[in-house]
Amino acid sequence: MNRNSIACSLDREGLAKRGKRWLELGARAAVEVAATDRGLRLAFRADEGVEDELRRLAKLERECCAFADWSLHVGGEEITLELAAEGEAVPVVREMLSGLL
């Protein structure tokens, strides 16, 4: 993978709006952000509306940041979002939402 394929397709305004949505969701329901071998794992409380917003955001991220895999796992009282990549994209993925908490 080369550096050109590790890019977000959002412009500055789009990135700011998307970031605001992530921060609002994080403030409302995030319980853990942890680095993994291939990226980042984020855990959220399964409060009302959280799963729907996570699904919407993950779908949008798959479109603009196609270099990463975005996997949602729902179980019990938590919803987990796994962000994973390969090679030089791993540090980029780890940085993307690391400041959510």
Q: What is the 3-state secondary structure (H, E, C) of the chain?
A: CCHHHCCCCCCHHHHHHHHHHHHHHHHHHEEEEEECCCEEEEEEECCCCHHHHHHHHHHHHHHHCCCCEEEEEEECCEEEEEEECCHHHHHHHHHHCHHHC
| 48 in Cβ contact with 65 (< 8 Å) | no
| Structural domain contains residue 52 | yes
| Structural domain contains residue 3 | no
pTM for the whole structure: 0.88
| 80 in Cβ contact with 73 (< 8 Å) | yes
Q: What is the pLDDT along the chain (101 residues), one digit of tens a residue?
A: 444 467 778 888 988 999 999 999 999 999 999 999 999 999 999 999 999 999 999 999 998 888 899 999 999 899 999 999 999 999 988 888 888 87
| Structural domain contains residue 12 | no
The residues with which 34 forms a beta bridge, in sequence order, are 41
Count up the domains in the chain and report the number.
1
Domain enclosing residue 80, as ranges: 30-100
The residues with which 52 forms a beta bridge, in sequence order, are none
| Structural domain contains residue 69 | yes
| Structural domain contains residue 56 | yes
